[in-house]
Structures are given as structure tokens and as C-alpha cells.
Amino acid sequence: MNFARYFSVIPLLAAFIFTSGCQPEKAEPTGKLNVDLPVSLNSRSLSGSCADNLWADVLIDNQAIQKLQKTGGNWQGAIKLTPGAHALKIEFKCTTDNFGTIVLAIYTEDINLSTDESLNLASDRYEYPDNDHDGSSNLAEIKAGTDPGNPSNGFKWANPLPQGNTLQDVIWNGSEYLAIGYGGSILTSGDGQSWSLTHSAAANVLNGIAWSGTQYVIVGDQGTILSRTGSESDWTIRNSGTQKQLLDITWTGRLFVAVGDQVVSSSADGINWTSHDIPGVTAFSSITWTGDKLVVAGAAWNPDASRVEGAIFTSNNGTSWSPPQLTGTPWLWDITWTGSQLVAVGGDLFSRDGFRLGGIIITSPNGERWTKQTSGTDVDLYGVSYDNNSGLILTVGGSINLLVAENPGNSVILSSPDGINWKPRNSTSHPIYRGLASSGTETVVVGQAGIIRSSKDLLQWSNHTSGTVNSIFAMVSTGEQIVAVGENGEVLTSQDGHSWASHNSGITTNLFAVTWTGSQLVAVGGELHATQHGIIATSTDGITWIDRTPAGSFGLIKDVTWTGSQLVAVGAKGLILTSPDGIDWTSRNSTTSNWLFTVSSNSDQIVAAGSKGAILTSSDNGSSWTNLDGVDENLDLFGSTWTGSSFVIAGGSYISVTGLKKDTSIIFTSTDGTKWTPIDPGVHGVLQAVEWTGSQLLAVAENSSLLTSSDGTAWTLTPTISSNSHNCVLEHQGTTLIGGGNGTILYRKN
């Protein structure tokens, strides 16, 4: 939702007057509750059709009880409110022609409201939604002058193509395929092979699709519902009546029914929705219609076993639901009706007691009696579909092995004529498959990293995405070209940041960093799962690489920099290596056993930083090092740079620090490398890298956001179109580039 486009003025101080502590029989309230919005909201000005039809709803415990009226520069309303713990939400709303009803919500959770009390919603005491999943709340983005609902901000995909966000679901409506996924990504194809990409106005994760014969409805996180007819091109945001995650949706012939995180939403027309919570349920993962009842697969708590188990729920009307029927299996992720039986699939995301419990398939003729079938695989199954033309039941899934580097995981496609006998149709190291659909002549599977594959016979499969899906960890500009390095020895080069060429580096381990000395490239890395296997390689052109790894045993290397006369590499357990030429390397005593993740320098000093807040300095070109004290040990520091006047270090914390509940970001600045000033850039999510362009600082967070600053103190957040982790950032000849997970490379002409 682009509030810079759609609202005229958000007032300097919005005062909401509530009444509290009154008896039900009294006509007038007896107390006041004043709620103040942050003063910085004053700076947000909107234009266009929202200026004259903006309103604000007040919700108490998720029930809309009052509309607020704008009087002068303030918003006011009066309500009766019982003192005690309540969830308070204020939703600014505006109806637009192109985007439907846009909502900016700010809310509090279970606060104790009493009479004559004032609440400042800018306080860290309150939570704010993060509609585009970039690690920064709507409120923070509005204060920063960015766009919480339409986060492209000029960025385009360079790799993979057509895009690299994970795709959650795909459907065939009789004439076209439609696929949806993270970052509000929507893709369409007439043949399953050529795909067109659009982004919805809602940048949330989109999870499920239904087609009524005339209308699409998409559901997603934070209660997102989008709809359009088959002839339209624009999607309209609908008010679902819930902020909870919606995971799947079905069409019964008369009713759309969406399910999710302890919630069910229904609509006869796809426009007007009614939502109600379902207590006692862990989650409704998937829903199907048998012709006479709704059947949901998901999970519920088994009190006897003290664990969450797969569960089935049924309903005749979408409102009243049966108690959970525990299946004795792990979580169930998807369910379908073949016309004669129900088929549900699932598996554990992680192993239980050291054993994987994936490959779950259960079948039932009526939703009451369930039989566990043998799938022949132990990977998690996320999607199941019935092909009316072939009569085959198809299921897809995959798994990631986080512990064994040589076996990173695989994806599977299985088929069965009867739900009992299952045959593998594809098993590869491709990213995890999440959904599938068949037109009768072409079967399409979609999944992680935006993967799209299709087959006419379930034997030969074609890829319809191009480019690597190996994560990109670092980029450097030589002045003439850009070189990117990453997972599994991936090396890419580009002249303009738009078109990229992949090269066989001859390296199979990860490359975490690369630097340019003026005459050669030096890349470093190692095996993430084994700290004693570092690697160093050099190249003059980015295409042909020579292994320069010194003899002996030393740890994984995380970063490397060129001081002007010396290469300095840092890594595992305090590792520091120096070299004048990239060939002969000398180990240095770092005085620390902490991991070192980043290193940067100016003409006089080298600064290295890493885990547990470690900051080290060297003033003799890397020969000896001083370990600085006083930095928070809960922090990890991943990126650093020199601006010409100061060092800047970026990082954050993955654990609770000073009462914060989420991953936090941190910036440190220093003019001398000794005295450091901490700065809160105001976003959730750990910063992975920071770079100086010559005129401004660029920093990226693992949760898909870009930060910019001219001085290292005041930072502006810019969301991007990728939902993958952001690992590195670079500016090359007026183009901003971001590299990240699943092969992500984004570019923007400045």
C-alpha cells in the first residue's frame, strides 16, 4: 500500500478519545483513553483518490466498535470500554479504484486499559504489523518515507528469471495457469512454459488460490485476500476481517472458504468476507470440497502424546467444524478430493528423535476412516492434486538437510492411479516443490526459488526458470565488470548488472567473499559445515580461477579485503591471514577465538569484526591486532566499510537483547577505529553487509530490505521485490545491486 500516493495528510498528532470504566446501563462514558500517534507521521503526505475518503476504524479484541472522525488535525471517537486487558487496533482505511481498500493498521496486544490513560503508539511497548515481510513494520516504513505495501521501489530481477521468490501454489483454470508465492508474486501462463510476472498490491506471502469458473481468489499471510475475474488484469484487495495467516482456499460451487491459522473465512461472491476463529486448532493447512462437505487437513495438539500431530476436520457449512481427528502422523500440509477418495499428504519439517517422518500419505473414502499408505520417500510432501484427464493422483515435496553438506536435500514428484501404489516421477536436487497443477496435457510444478517445471508425460521435465539458484554471498566491481560469488563455488560476471554469465570456477565449496586489488580478484570461502576447510582462489578476469589455498589446516574464511598493499582474510575462530600477492599467505595472531565475519581498511588502519561483538584493529598492515572491549556480546557483526571519514560496521542479534523479542539490527560508526558509536537503524532483522558508494552508505538485511544513509546515523529503509535473504550490496556505474539467497540478484538504475 503506497501511502505516499494515496493519502493527503496524516496529522501531526492524532488523538483518539475512548471511554472506559463505564457501567453497561449508563448512556454516556465516564472515563477517557487518549491514544497518540507518533509525531513523525506528520511527514507522510498522500495524493490521489484517498484524500477525501480516508477513515479510521477502532477495533477492541478484534471487533470493530467505532469509526473515528477527523476534526481539524486530530481524530476523535468515544466508546464504552470495560477496564482490563484488551487488544487495541486502529486501522486507517481508504478505498481506491486500482487497489481496493488499503489498510494501515497499528495495534497493541493485551494491554491493560484503564480510565484517563494515555497511550503513545510510538513506544517499543507495542507491536506493528510487517505487511511486506521485509523485517520492518508498517509504522517504521511510514516514518522512514517508504512504501509498506508495494515494495518494488524500482528493483527488477536479474537472477533467477522470471523471478526468484518461492512459489506456494499453482492452479489451472481451463485456459491458463496461475502461480503465486512470496513477495506478492503472481505469474500467469497459457501453456505452462512461457510465464509473465506481476506483483500484487499486497506484498504479503500468497499461499492459496481458488477458481470459481469466473473469478480467482487468492489468500495469504496477515489475512490477505485478492480477487479478480478471469477477464481482468488488476487484482483487488478484499477485507477478510482477520489479520491471521490464510493458507488455502476452495470453491464449493456456492461459497469460497479459506482456512489458516486457527481461522476460517468465507464468502459467496469473493468480495464480502466473514471470518471467525477456530479455537483448539494448531492450524488448518489445506481445504477441499467433496461435493457434500468440506474437509480440512492440518494439525492439532495431542494431549496424550504431548505433541502436535496431523489432524482432519470436517464441516457441512464452513462455520461449524468437527473436533480434530488425530491421524497419528506428522503435520498434514495438503489435501485433495479425487471424486471417490480423499488424499492428504505431509511430513515433519524437522526430524523427531533423530528420525525423519516425511513422505506421509493417508487416504479415506469419506473423511472418517483413514489409511496410511507407503509413499516410498521420507521427504516432506507439500502438495497433492488429482488429474481428471489421466486419473492420476500427483504429489510433490522436498526436504533440506541442514547438517550434511554432501546431501543438501532433494525434491520429489510421485504419482498413483489409486492412492495406494505410488511411483516416483522425478527425484532431484532441485529446490523444494510446493505445488502442482495439470491441464490434462501439461503438468506444472512450482516451488522454492521460483522454480517452475513442466512435463507432458511425467517422465521428461523441462525447466522454465533460468539462472543459478545457488545463493549469492558477495559482489565486487572491477570498474569494468561485476563479479559475484556464492554457494557451491558459484561465480557470475556481468557488464551492466542486468545480464549475467555463469562460469565454472572449478571450486565446489562456498565462496563467501571477493575483493579486487586493481590487478586480480581474490575470492575466499570454505565448507560451511566443516570449519577446517578454507579456500582461497585468484583470477585476473573472473572466468579462470587458480586455487591459492595454502598448505596446512586452517578454518573457513568469511571475508577478504585489499588495503592497497596487503590482502587480509578473516574467518573461523579468530582466523587472520595476510598476503602481499594472494599467493603466499601468513597466519596472524588475532588474540580472539571468536569468528571474524568482516574486514575493512583505510590507509592507516584495518578493522575486523565478528561474533559476540568482536572488534579488532591493526595499525601495522595486519601483522598484530588489538581486541577492543565493551561491545555487546549478544551481537554478531557481519559487514564493514570505510567511507573516507569513518568506519561503519553492521550486524545485529538473533536473540533477545535488552527486552527486544525479534532479530535486531545495529550499526556502529567510528572515525578512529577505537571509539565506536552504536546506532539503531530502526529495522528488525540482522544486517548482513554495508558498502560505501562514494556518496552514500548501503546496507542490506537478511530479511529483504535495503537501508541507505548519507552519514551513517540517519537511515532510510527501502523494501525490495525479493523475499529471499539479502547477503550483499554494491553500486556499479549508477546501478544498485543486491545479492542473496536462492541465487537472488536484483538491480535498480539510480
Per-residue confidence (pLDDT) for residue 26, from 0 to 100: 35
Contact between 133 and 203 under an 8 Å Cβ cutoff? The reply is yes
* pLDDT mean over 557-579: 97
CB count in 10 Å sphere of residue 742: 24
* Cβ 96 vs Cβ 6: under 8 Å: yes
Per-residue pLDDT at 684:
77
d(CA 65, CA 54): 17
Bridge partners for 66 per DSSP:
58
DSSP 308-375: EEEEEEEESSSSS-PPPEE-SSS-EEEEEE-SS-EEEEE--SS-BTTB----EEEEESSSSS-EEE--
Distances 291 to 250, 309, 324, 339, 359 between C-alpha atoms, Å: 12, 27, 21, 9, 28
Cell 472458504 belongs to residue: 257
Nearest CA to 106 among 68, 49, 51, 50? 68
Query: Which is more confidently placed, 349 or 420?
Result: 420
Measure the CA–CA gap between 473 and 485, rounded to whole angstroms: 6
- The answer to whether the CB of 396 falls within 8 A of the CB of 381 is yes
CATH among 3.30.200.20, 2.30.140.10, 1.10.580.10, 2.130.10.10 for 472-692: 2.130.10.10
Q: Indicate whether 507 pLDDT > 60.
A: yes
The DSSP annotation for 196-217 comes to EEEE-S--SPEEEEEE-SSEEE
Q: With 0-12 CB in 10 A as exposed, 13-18 as middle and 19+ as buried, what is 14?
A: buried
Average pLDDT, the chain: 82
Residues 134, 165 contacting (CB under 8 angstroms): no
Spatial separation of the C-alpha atoms in residues 392 and 377, rounded to whole Å: 18
The region that residue 278 occupies, defined by phi over 0 for left and psi between -120 and 50 for alpha, beta otherwise, is beta
Is pLDDT of 479 > 80? yes
Pairing between β-strand 156-159 and β-strand 745-749 as defined by DSSP bridges? antiparallel
CB 217 within 8 A of CB 209: yes
Q: Are strands 576-579 and 586-588 parallel, antiparallel or unpaired?
A: antiparallel
Residue type at position 608: A
Please answer whether residues 716 and 146 qualify as being in contact, where contact means their C-beta atoms are separated by less than 8 angstroms: yes
**Poorest-pLDDT segment among 14-23, 266-275, 420-429, 575-584:** 14-23
Write the single-letter amino acid at 375.
S
Which pLDDT belongs to residue 132? 45
pLDDT band of 318, cuts 50, 70, 90: very high
Cell of 12: 501531526
Confidence of residue 20 (pLDDT cuts 50, 70, 90): very low
CA-wise closest residue to 156 among 735, 726, 721: 721
3-state SS, residue 361: strand
CA distance 650 to 645: 16
The set of cell numbers assigned to 132 is 511486506
> What dotted CATH number matches 278-448?
2.120.10.30
The answer to whether residue 169 scores a pLDDT higher than 50 is yes
* Cβ pair 612, 669 in contact under 8 A: no
- Rounded to an integer, what distance in angstroms lies between the CA atom of residue 336 and that of residue 330? 18
Average pLDDT over residues 228-247: 88
Question: Domain-by-domain residue ranges, the chain?
Answer: 34-39+50-120, 278-448, 472-692
Distance CA(335)–CA(318), nearest Å, equals 16
- The predicted-structure confidence for 320-376, as pLDDT tens digits, reads as follows 999 999 999 999 999 999 999 999 999 985 545 444 578 999 999 999 999 999 999
Reported as a single tens digit per residue, the pLDDT across 98-151 is 334 444 455 555 555 554 444 444 444 444 455 444 444 444 443 333 344 444
Asked whether the whole model's pTM tops 0.85, one would answer no
Q: Give the pLDDT confidence of 40-65 residue by residue, as tens digits.
A: 333 233 333 444 455 666 666 666 66
* Best CA proximity match to 523, nearest among 493, 560, 498: 560
27 pLDDT above the threshold of 50: no
Place of cell 464504552: 80
Cα 115 to its chain centre, rounded Å, is 40
Cα–Cα dist 198/217, whole Å = 16
**For 261-315, how does the pLDDT look when each residue is reduced to its tens digit (9 = 90+)?**
999 999 999 999 999 988 877 789 999 999 999 999 999 988 888 888 999 999 9
Torsion angle defined by CA atoms of residues 631, 632, 636 and 642, in that order, rounded to the nearest 10 degrees:
-30
pLDDT at 704: 76
